[in-house]
Amino acid sequence: MAYNPKFIKDVEIPLPTLTPATLQQCFNGGTPLDHTNFSTVFNQARGLAVYSAHNIDGKTLLKKGPKRTGFTLDPLVKPNALQVDNHRGYKGFPTQEDNPWDAGHLARRRAVHWPNKATAIKANKESSYWTNIVPQHHRLNQGPWSNVEDFILKLADENDKRASVFTGPVFTDSDPQIVNDVGELPIRIPAGFWKVVAIKHQSHLCAAAFLLWQCDIQSGQPIKFDPVLEQVRLNTVEYLAGLFFDKKLRNADPLRFKGRNASCVIANAGDIAL
C-alpha cells in the first residue's frame, strides 16, 4: 500500500497540492508514484523528488529490518534518463572520490519497515529507487538529517503511535551545479531539506516542520539536531517547496499562532507535546 491519507485514526491528511510553477516541472502531471508504504511526486526538471510521503506504524515497526539494498531506477518513471542516478553527482560514482555528496533517502529506509517482514523487504527495496534519493552533504546525511529521522522514529516507536511524514528538498535558482564525469549530465545540488511530521497527541492532531540547510554543515562540525531550534512553520516549508499542505495540518502547527508556551513545543525525543 502506498501513502495512506487516513492512516492516523479519525483524521484524513491528503498529499500536499502543488503550486502551478512546481506542477509544470513534474513528471506525469504531478501524479504520485505509489510504492510500498510511501509515495513520491517527481520533479523531472531537476531529476529529484518534489517530496516523498510515508506512514509509520509504531506498533508494528520492525526492530530489525531488512539489510540495505543497492540503488535502482524507479520502474514507474520513463525514460530512465529523467532520474538522477549514480552517474550524476553522488559520492564515489563513478570517479570523483572526493565528492562529498551522499545518496540520502527522503522516505527513510528504516521507517518503511512495517507491518511485517514480507512487506518490509518490498518497501526496503523500493525506498532505494533513485526517485526517493537526493544528494546530501555527508555531514548532513550522517549528522543532523539522521538525528531528525531518529527523533521521528522514536516518537512513533516508543509511544506506539501512527505518524505521517512528508519530506523533500529545497530548490533555489542559485543551487550549485556539478558534473561527475566527462560527458555526464550535470546535477544541481538542493539548498536544503525539510520534514513535516503529523501525529496524534492526547487525541489532538499535532504537526511539526523541520528545516535543515546544506550550507550550514559544509564546513566545520554541525551541531547536534535540536527539535526546538530546527522547528519552523509549516507555511515556511510551503513557500520554499512550492506546495500547500491540507488546512487541518496547517492548523495543527503550534508555530502558526502567536506566542509559545510549554505545551506548544517539542519537549524531547521521547514525548511530543505540540
pLDDT at 202: 75
Sign of the dihedral through C-alpha 236, 42, 17, 109: negative
The continuous run of DSSP H or E covering 78 comes out as none
pLDDT at 219: 58
Most distant CA atoms of the chain, gap in Å: 56
Quick: pLDDT tens for 136-159. Answer: 887 776 666 767 767 776 766 566
Q: Give the bridge partners for 208, in sequence order.
A: 197
pLDDT at 179: 75
Q: CB neighbours (10 Å) of residue 24? A: 12
Nearest one of 153, 161, 163 to 53, comparing CA atoms: 163
pLDDT at 130: 96
Yes or no: domain 17-264 corresponds to CATH 3.40.570.10: yes
- The answer to whether residue 34 scores a pLDDT higher than 50 is yes
Round the average pLDDT of the chain to a whole number and report it: 83
Quick: pLDDT tens for 177-223. Answer: 877 667 777 788 999 999 999 988 777 888 989 998 887 665 555 55
Cα-based torsion angle of the residue sequence 90, 93, 99, 101 in order, rounded to the nearest 10 degrees? 20
Instruction: Calculate mean pLDDT across residues 118-126.
Output: 97
Percent of the chain with pLDDT over 90: 49
Quick: pLDDT tens for 50-89. Answer: 999 999 998 898 988 899 889 999 999 999 989 988 766 5
Sign of the dihedral through C-alpha 48, 127, 222, 199: positive
Quick: pLDDT tens for 155-190. Answer: 665 666 888 999 999 999 989 887 766 777 778 899
pLDDT at 161: 82
- The answer to whether residue 26 scores a pLDDT higher than 90 is yes
Dist. CA 103–CA 74, nearest whole Å: 15
- The answer to whether residue 237 scores a pLDDT higher than 90 is yes
pLDDT band for 96, please (50, 70, 90 cuts).
very low
Residue 35 phi, psi dihedral angles, 5° rounding: -130, 180
Instruction: Calculate mean pLDDT across residues 22-26.
Output: 97
Percent of the chain with pLDDT over 70: 76
pLDDT at 260: 45
Selected residue with higher pLDDT from 90 and 118: 118
Locate the domains of the chain by residue range. 17-264
Q: Distances from the Cα of 80 to the Cαs of 60, 187, 255, 265, in angstroms?
A: 34, 15, 41, 43
pLDDT at 92: 56
pLDDT at 63: 87
Q: Exposed, middle or buried by CB within 10 Å (0-12, 13-18, 19+), for 100? A: middle
